[in-house]
Chains A and B, each alone.
Chain A
Amino acid sequence: MDIVFYITAFVTVISTIMVITRHNPVHALLYLIISLLSISVIFFLLGAPFAALLEIIIYAGAIMVLFIFVIMLLNLGKETARQEKEWLKPKVWIGPAILSAILFVELFYLITIADVAPYNLQTVDPKTVAISLFRPYLIGVELAAMLLMAGVVGAAHIGQHKKMILHRFLKEEGRL
């Protein structure tokens, strides 16, 4: 099991790095999808199959498709790739890279000194997730629902527009 975990973690890290370094936005998004998929495998390995599949359904299956959708609509061509290349100069990434390297060393140190408990393989089934969502964390669920509702109403408001109905002889304004 350990070796599977390390392979998946390796894939995740590599694909995430690729997301940042690709110049073509669609290629970057594809690596992001791979990164999400491998994270879902990690969830699966850690005994949370429900979370793993929700990760695929919601992030990889819906949100990323919308990202690609928008990028397709924007029709970004070679010009954008060139621009991206210019933005990704060492001057830009060297600062964050050093800072995150420090964090990585700290993390490595913490992992090596602590006696790491082997991950517990207690599977969390959908029922457990549902019970914890609707008993102790009910308020969180309700608040999230309100936030989403506000988002939906906002989107509906922004998307609302007057529709022009044009006939050959007749011009009238109607509401969509």
Chain B
Amino acid sequence: MSIILPYLLMIVVLLFTLTTIAAWLIWLERRMLALWQDRYGPNRAGPFGLLIVVADTIKLFFKEDWIPPFADKTIFVIAPTLIGATVLMSFVIIPYAPGILIADLSIGLLFFLAMSSLGVYSIVLGGWASNNKYSLLGALRGASQMISYEVFMGLSLMGVVMLSGSFRLTDIVLAQKGGWFIITQPVGFVIFMIAGIAETHRLPFDIPEAESELVAGFHSEYSGMKFGMFFIGEYLGITLISAMAVTLFFGGWLGPAFLPPLIWFALKTFIFILFFILLRASLPRPRYDQLMEYGWKVLLPVALLNLLITGGIVLMMNK
């Protein structure tokens, strides 16, 4: 019992922190977008408009939770939970600071890839169960986009694995003591970020939900807290990709000693979250076939080449 208790405590704290962060990211995003577009953004409820999140949540809870009569009811209800569950599962393997992590799996990186590949089902099933042509189109786009970009995401990370010689995330962070992997793996980082944006289907790759073409894509039929789950899942996804980018390429908790490791980790992650929001403010959405073509014709060869060169250099250094 005494072994399990700290774990349980850590899981509860982590769950609470992550959902809170994800909720307040909505405020942050709206404020930052407004700042970059020369507007005020939400500034009425509470100091700096911080309480807008509470107001939004209350609104979501009081909305009619409507299940369309033409929908496949069971799957319609299950679909939104999947995205939150799979993204939260991935947080289990991230080392936040020395000693602050839940599971130090020897195959941690693969676990992250597995969970992100399961996240596709949320979109696919949600769109299919809605039984609506716009949702179905969104789901089809989501499925093909996420399956293709998963491939590049996996390939781009293998360079890091080669350099650190381990799938364990703690080992990967410790291997960056001499220098962050962004220096040795810049190409891998760029591909990982692009694939990460596509995996979380954020702008500019929000093609599954493209408001201007597909109403709201795969979640057109969702309302109330079910829609809220998709929403929170997206922001959790942003946090996850930011945290993974920090862990894999920017030295995780490592940093000069004047700040504790956990603060370093949080700071770096926060910068990446801001980067995600900036992307939304600045880039237009590509056309659907452009997205797929870009993935398979540019990213795949570049990722493979990166892998080949990294492998060659690692072999040469070991000789």
Contacts and interface: CB of A to CB of B under 8 A. Distances in A.
Interface of A: 24, 26-27, 30, 33, 49-50, 53-54, 56-57, 60-62, 65-66, 68-69, 72-73, 123, 125-126
Nearest to A55: B114
Given A65-B147, A72-B128, A57 B114 contact: yes
B116 to A, nearest CB: 8
Instruction: Please give me the 3 A-B residue pairs with the lowest Cβ-Cβ distance, nearest first.
Output: A61-B117, A56-B114, A53-B110
Contact of A60 (B117, B128, B136): B117
Contact of B124 (A27, A69, A123): A69
Nearest to B74: A27
Contacts of A56: 114, 117-118
Contacts of B72: 24, 26
B106 A68 contact: no
Interface string B71-88: 010010000000000000
A58 to B, nearest CB: 9
Q: Is the interface of B mostly helix, strand, loop or mixed?
A: helix
A64 to B, nearest CB: 8
Interface string B141-153: 0011011001000
Given A26-B128, A68-B125, A69-B144, 5 more contacts: A27-B75, A50-B110, A53-B111, A65-B121, A68-B124
Contacts of A66: 147
B110 A65 contact: no
Nearest to B129: A26
Contacts of A73: 140
B117 to A, nearest CB: 3
B102 interface: no
A4 to B, nearest CB: 16
Given A50-B107, A72-B139, A73-B140, A61 B150 contact: yes
B114 A49 contact: no
Given A61-B150, A65-B147, A126-B167, A53 B118 contact: no
B152 to A, nearest CB: 13
In this complex, the member of B114, B118, B128, B154 whose beta carbon has the largest number of chain A beta carbons within 10 angstroms is B114
20 contacts: A24-B72, A26-B75, A27-B75, A33-B121, A49-B105, A50-B110, A53-B114, A56-B117, A57-B110, A57-B117, A57-B154, A61-B150, A68-B125, A68-B128, A68-B143, A69-B124, A69-B140, A72-B140, A72-B143, A126-B106
Nearest to B78: A30
Contacts, number: 71
A4 B121 CA distance: 26
Contacts of A49: 105-107
Contact of A72 (B114, B117, B136, B154): B136
B117 A69 contact: no
Contacts of B128: 26, 68, 72
A30 B75 contact: yes
B13 to A, nearest CB: 26
A73 B72 CA distance: 16
B304 interface: no
B157 to A, nearest CB: 12
Interface string B17-31: 000000000000000
Contact of A65 (B111, B114, B124): B124
Contacts of B106: 49, 123, 125-126
Given A26-B72, A125-B106, A62 B111 contact: no
A57 B107 contact: no
Contacts of A62: 117, 147, 150
A54 B117 CA distance: 11
Nearest to A62: B147
A127 to B, nearest CB: 9
B120 interface: yes
Contacts of A26: 72, 75, 125, 128
B120 A61 contact: yes
